[in-house]
Amino acid sequence: MTDRNGDGIYELTLSETTAQSSVAFKFVNRDNIFELDCKPNRTIQFEYKPETLEYHAIFNVEGGDQKSIKP
């Protein structure tokens, strides 16, 4: 993930073909500290179709917001 324009919003683009319906993950900061210690991973849900998603989250704060972006 990178913050190319310095606005504090880190972005990542992935293009995958998968049979998985979700992915679980946690963020790691520059000091190699994992967020949400002893708490569940974050998840992103996929549909079985090409789609563009946005996921908004704050480091080490539970919850996140996923939305599908119309092309």
Token duo for residue 48: 């079985």
pLDDT (0 to 100) of residue 40: 95
pTM of the model: 0.76
Per residue in 23-35, pLDDT tens? 899 999 889 999 9
Residues contacting 8, CB < 8 A, separation 6+: none
What is the domain partition of the chain in residue ranges?
Answer: 1-71
